[in-house]
Amino acid sequence: MIVELISTGSELLLGDTINTNVAWLAREMNKLGYTVAFQSTIGDNPARMEECFRLAASRADLVVCTGGLGPTQGDITRPSLAKAIGLELELNHDAERMVKAFFENKGREMPDPSRREMMLPVGSEALNNSCGVAPGVAVQADGTTYILLPGPPAEMKAVFDESVRPYLTKYFGGQGVVKSHRYAVYGLRELELEASLMDLVKTQQNPTIAFLIKNGYIELRITAKAMTLEEAETLLAPWDAILRERLGDSLGRRLEKSMLELVTDALLEAGATVATAESCTGGLVGKRLTDMPGSSAYVQGGVISYSNEVKHKVLGVPQDELDTYGAVSEQVAKSMAAGTRKLLGTTYGVSTTGIAGPGGGTATKPVGLVYIGVSGPEGTVAYRNDFIGDRESIRQSTAERALYLLYQAITGKK
Amino acid sequence: MIVELISTGSELLLGDTINTNVAWLAREMNKLGYTVAFQSTIGDNPARMEECFRLAASRADLVVCTGGLGPTQGDITRPSLAKAIGLELELNHDAERMVKAFFENKGREMPDPSRREMMLPVGSEALNNSCGVAPGVAVQADGTTYILLPGPPAEMKAVFDESVRPYLTKYFGGQGVVKSHRYAVYGLRELELEASLMDLVKTQQNPTIAFLIKNGYIELRITAKAMTLEEAETLLAPWDAILRERLGDSLGRRLEKSMLELVTDALLEAGATVATAESCTGGLVGKRLTDMPGSSAYVQGGVISYSNEVKHKVLGVPQDELDTYGAVSEQVAKSMAAGTRKLLGTTYGVSTTGIAGPGGGTATKPVGLVYIGVSGPEGTVAYRNDFIGDRESIRQSTAERALYLLYQAITGKK
């Protein structure tokens, strides 16, 4: 089935907001086996929005639209769709129940304009929104199915996960699956990579091969479409060996699981706990380690020791180490990791100390120099890193590498 | 002039890449006074891309397209546009000179496929790319102007800044300017905000008023269009007073400066230092406070007290407070803020404790309930917040609000 994704909101046309919704939705729809062929963005302009729905109906079987479902005057998606498909708006009793329940659960009186959120095109299904007021909408007309989702990302995702997936399965059954294997390719230019695989690129059908230039590597994506995941995996199966033979050492790690997922699994499996001691990352490692729900099972906490005083007084880094080697040193990284592990009584301690820039670099300790320490039952080690990039990317790279080194320490794996 | 922005690339339709190019281009085109009315995204499919150009010609005066200008088989934007507008591709001598110069400057031999990058629709102007190989393209046909830009963001920006701006000025002169003033509104719901301004929203013409729900606040944007910046500012001038009268204390800061910049300025001006004590945010407040270069002048560090044990043992939160009120309570938020301030010897302490979800909520302490404590020379206070959204947005909202409350405590300003 051909899908068009429509994003509404003048903030997108003004460039004030980066459209993360559409990427998320595209990924999810592709995973479900749908073909996203068009994405359109339209402002809060009734005539253009109506026209946009008409155009989508002419070229897509399924139209998924985000934004403009709130109760204000600027929220015009419901009436614009109704006009485009020639249906009246009516009070939808399921939507009424959902909106009223939201306010009852919060112990708040329902504001009068929220009645707009119950007025759906005749024959619509209201889709429950567990994260906000406005229900989603699903309606079919003239052979096209329209799904309207709220604009705030958390609400959009909640309605999609809870209601759109079951709706699609109910009406359209399985669409097969699209499965990609993604690899990082290092040290080759795009043309060289293409040249190595040119015969495959030219004859590709299923799976298909695509390249995408990323910071520091090229993403090589090989994608199969099939009715079941097993069939897709069967189509993909021979390709790992083919790619390894063609590309040798340039073919780097598979990009499927995030480093955070790997670390979390490893900590849970080992029944281990962790504490952080952060200087240059200022809390980012702790933030990332607690990104996963349920992280209290393995994260005790940590110390953000941005100043040397905190490194010494709270973490117990010896003053003479700070004086002799400086805060950005292997020795201090080790003492920080061991210090937080001891203070918080955890299985592992992980530390960061470095120069994130843009100022503060010297000839011997340039911007991008970061030591990462890991302390655990097997002892305490620290690793030197030389990152490039701006302040934000050096800090993000540091946190990512810290997770990687922690993962290695727990599992002994590379 | 009506503008359509087209983004090409299957990675966008697959959701593998978030489209930051289109937001950047939309912002720049709006600044130049153009009206971006449509954005479309299309994959590497020749027939659909051709149709997309035809549709754009029917509704826009100026079409700006990104991506697909490279030398590989997947780069089909030049031939697709040529076909859509009925022009042949020919060797463009400016493009030839630019591509050859790129490789000469790098001391590399030009790969043969790069010849594709010199083949432009008849009558095109080649636009120099100082960041990469592929020149941009500008061509006019049947009253519509088409501009093709490379996909990698750095190349796209370079071609736009160096060549597209002068091209637009040469052919279309000044288009006037669009100027927005943006405010953060705290503590009002979107409907309450709209109700306060309903008569203005209903009669808005120039300037226009728009709202956007953000993490922790609502952005109120008032936008004027005029031939010069001075005229736009004259149109906007009365509105600051009107908004302040209508919204009183709810009208927060102007968003021209980020909350982080304001906090940083306030801390530096007061010669004050700060320490964090974070539970639900897990380090995010510390990370944000250290986002600015030079933050060691006012950030000492902090304690990530994810577990109750760390709250008690490291921060000195009384055990009976934890037992009586629970970790997510006004009392514990205050003790955490005061505790980190004392432990790290800073002017201010700021704390967060709450339920980020998705699990862990109860009837009396639902997901989204967060207490933020601020301790300073004037005493220690804590504020209750009820955020909605998913785990990430609740944590981001908490950090944003914590910066805001810290700013208020330092400056006494709203």
pLDDT in tens, A71-83: 988 899 999 999 9
Distance CA A141, CA A154 (A): 28
B281/A287 CB distance under 8 A: yes
Q: Choosing among A304, A310, A314, A342, which should be mutated to test the B contact, i.e. which has the most B CBs within 10 A?
A: A304
Tell how strand A369-376 and strand A348-354 pair up.
Answer: antiparallel
Q: pLDDT tens digits for A13-47? A: 988 888 999 999 999 998 888 999 999 999 989 99
Q: Which residues of A touch B194 (CB under 8 A)?
A: 72-73, 113
Distance CA A368, CA B87 (A): 50
The pLDDT confidence band at residue A217, using thresholds 50, 70 and 90, is low
Alpha helices in A204-329 (DSSP H): 229-236, 239-247, 259-270, 284-289, 308-313, 319-325
The pLDDT confidence band at residue A127, using thresholds 50, 70 and 90, is very high
Distance CA A222, CA A230 (A): 16
Answer yes or no: is pLDDT of A214 > 70: no
List Cβ neighbours of A160 (8 Å cut-off, separation of 6 or more).
Answer: A25, A28, A149
Question: What is the interface pTM, i.e. ipTM, of the complex?
Answer: 0.70
- Nearest CA distance, B350 vs chain A (angstrom): 13
- Nearest CA distance, B360 vs chain A (angstrom): 9
Answer yes or no: is pLDDT of A12 > 90: yes
Q: Which residues of A touch B17 (CB under 8 A)?
A: 23, 212
- Nearest CA distance, A124 vs chain B (angstrom): 25
Distance CA B56, CA B39 (A): 9
Answer yes or no: is pLDDT of A252 > 80: no
The residue of chain A with its CA nearest to that of B44 is A37
Say if residues A288 and A302 touch (Cβ distance below 8 Å).
Answer: no
The pLDDT confidence band at residue A91, using thresholds 50, 70 and 90, is very high
List Cβ neighbours of A162 (8 Å cut-off, separation of 6 or more).
Answer: A127, A128, A130
A114/B191 CB distance under 8 A: yes
- For A276, B115, B329, the CA distances from B283, given in Å and listed in that order, are 10, 51, 19
Buried-state track B369-399, b at ≥16 Cβ within 10 A, e below 16: bbbbbbbbeeebbbbebebbbbbebbbbbbb
Q: pLDDT tens digits for A278-330? A: 999 999 999 999 999 999 999 999 999 999 999 999 999 999 999 999 999 99
Tell how strand B119-121 and strand B89-91 pair up.
Answer: antiparallel
Q: Which residues of A touch B222 (CB under 8 A)?
A: none
Answer yes or no: is pLDDT of A414 > 60: no
Predicted confidence at residue A187, as pLDDT, reads 66
Predicted confidence at residue B90, as pLDDT, reads 97
Nearest to A212 among B16, B212, B278 (CB): B16
The pLDDT confidence band at residue A413, using thresholds 50, 70 and 90, is low
Structure tokens at B25: 């281009």
Distance CA A198, CA A209 (A): 10
The upper half-sphere exposure of residue A328, i.e. CA atoms within 13 Å in the direction of its Cβ, equals 19
A17/B23 CB distance under 8 A: yes
Say if residues B71 and B39 touch (Cβ distance below 8 Å).
Answer: no
A11/B358 CB distance under 8 A: no
Distance CA A105, CA A30 (A): 35
Q: Which residues of A touch B11 (CB under 8 A)?
A: 210, 212, 221
Rounded to an integer, what is the distance from CA B197 to the centroid of its chain? 26
Residue A182 CB coordination number (10 Å): 16
Predicted confidence at residue A264, as pLDDT, reads 94
B15/A38 CB distance under 8 A: no
Q: H or E segment at B166? A: helix B165-172
DSSP assignment of B233-265 equals: HHHHTTHHHHHHHHHGGGEEEETTS-HHHHHHH
The residue of chain A with its CA nearest to that of B11 is A212
Q: pLDDT tens digits for A351-368? A: 999 999 888 889 899 988
Answer yes or no: is pLDDT of A254 > 80: no
B304/A345 CB distance under 8 A: no
B23/A26 CB distance under 8 A: no
Q: pLDDT tens digits for A167-191? A: 999 999 888 888 888 887 866 778 8
- Nearest CA distance, A17 vs chain B (angstrom): 7
Nearest to B39 among A13, A25, A293 (CB): A13
Domains of chain B, earliest start first: 2-172 (3.40.980.10), 177-254 (3.30.70.2860), 259-411 (3.90.950.20)
Predicted confidence at residue B413, as pLDDT, reads 67
User: How deeply is B88 buried, as exposed, middle or buried, from its count of CB atoms within 10 A (0-12, 13-18, 19+)?
Assistant: exposed
Q: Is B309 helix (H, G, I), strand (E, B) or coil?
A: helix
Buried-state track A167-176, b at ≥16 Cβ within 10 A, e below 16: bbeeeeeebb
B282/A303 CB distance under 8 A: no
The residue of chain B with its CA nearest to that of A344 is B310
Predicted confidence at residue B214, as pLDDT, reads 81
A74/B27 CB distance under 8 A: no
Nearest to A37 among B43, B212, B223 (CB): B43
Q: What is the DSSP letter of B161?
A: I
Answer yes or no: is pLDDT of A388 > 80: no
The pLDDT confidence band at residue A253, using thresholds 50, 70 and 90, is low
Q: What is the DSSP letter of B15?
A: T
Residue A320 CB coordination number (10 Å): 9
Answer yes or no: is pLDDT of A198 > 90: no
B289/A295 CB distance under 8 A: no
- Nearest CA distance, A309 vs chain B (angstrom): 8
pLDDT higher at A266 or B201 = A266
Residue A88 CB coordination number (10 Å): 11
Place of tokens 């799976």: A207
Structure tokens at A124: 């619509």
B17/A23 CB distance under 8 A: yes
Predicted confidence at residue A215, as pLDDT, reads 56
Say if residues A374 and A349 touch (Cβ distance below 8 Å).
Answer: yes
Say if residues A6 and A52 touch (Cβ distance below 8 Å).
Answer: yes
**CA dihedral of residues A362, A365, A370, A371 (deg, nearest 10):** -150
Say if residues A146 and A139 touch (Cβ distance below 8 Å).
Answer: yes
Q: H or E segment at A226? A: strand A218-226
Predicted confidence at residue A249, as pLDDT, reads 76
Query: Which residues does chain B have with pLDDT short of 50?
Result: none
Answer yes or no: is pLDDT of A205 > 90: no
Q: Which residues of A touch B210 (CB under 8 A)?
A: 10-11, 44, 74
List Cβ neighbours of A77 (8 Å cut-off, separation of 6 or more).
Answer: A8, A49, A65, A67, A68, A69, A148
